[in-house]
Amino acid sequence: MNYPLLQKQIQSLLENETDVIANMANFSAFIFQEMDKVNWAGFYFVKDNQLVLGPFQGKVACVRIPWGKGVCGTAAEKQNSIIVENVNNFPGHIACDGASKSELVIPLIINNKTFAVFDIDSPVIGRFNKDDKQSMESLIKIFMDATVF
């Protein structure tokens, strides 16, 4: 992946738009389109102590994820990005799409509270690595800086 190019493209895509839903929709579509071996990319909002589905690209998804459950709920609760090489080995994994084999989740933190998570799934075991994690965290920072919450 050419992450420096993706960073420039994301900055241009989000330039002059501050709406959270619009930016989440375009961010999800962009990542889904530009990353190889990805079958889902999207956001979950924190609402009423659970995660609720937001803008995404891919197959129909789980609408609600309990706080602290699954990869997304765990990343939200711990406020840490999580790479899962094989979702079948993650305790309590929530299988929204049986084709997903690996996952990367980045929490979005505002004022020391998780606001949302960005989730990327792949049908390939071991699809995501530390470089993907760090680069996606940088892309999420660009998203956060461009968006009004």
Domain harbouring 93, CATH code? 3.30.450.40
Q: Is 54 a member of any domain?
A: yes
What is the band of 91 on the pLDDT scale with cuts at 50, 70, 90? confident
**pLDDT (tens digit, 9 = 90+) per residue, 14-66?**
999 999 999 999 999 999 999 999 999 999 999 999 999 999 999 999 999 99
Q: Is 121 a member of any domain?
A: yes
| Among the listed residues 19, 48, 47, 52, the one whose alpha carbon sits nearest the alpha carbon of residue 119 | 52
Joined together, the tokens standing for residue 27 give 């961010």
- Give Cβ neighbours of residue 102 (< 8 Å, ≥ 6 apart): 83, 84, 85, 86, 87, 121, 122, 124, 125, 126, 127, 128
Joined together, the tokens standing for residue 73 give 């709920």
> Given a cut of 90, is residue 149 above it in pLDDT?
no
Q: Is 149 a member of any domain?
A: no
Q: Is 44 a member of any domain?
A: yes
Q: Is 116 a member of any domain?
A: yes
CA 142 to CA 121: how far, in whole Å? 21
Q: Is 117 a member of any domain?
A: yes
pTM: 0.96
More confident call, 15 vs 98: 15
> Given a cut of 90, is residue 13 above it in pLDDT?
yes
Residues spanned by the domain of 95: 3-144
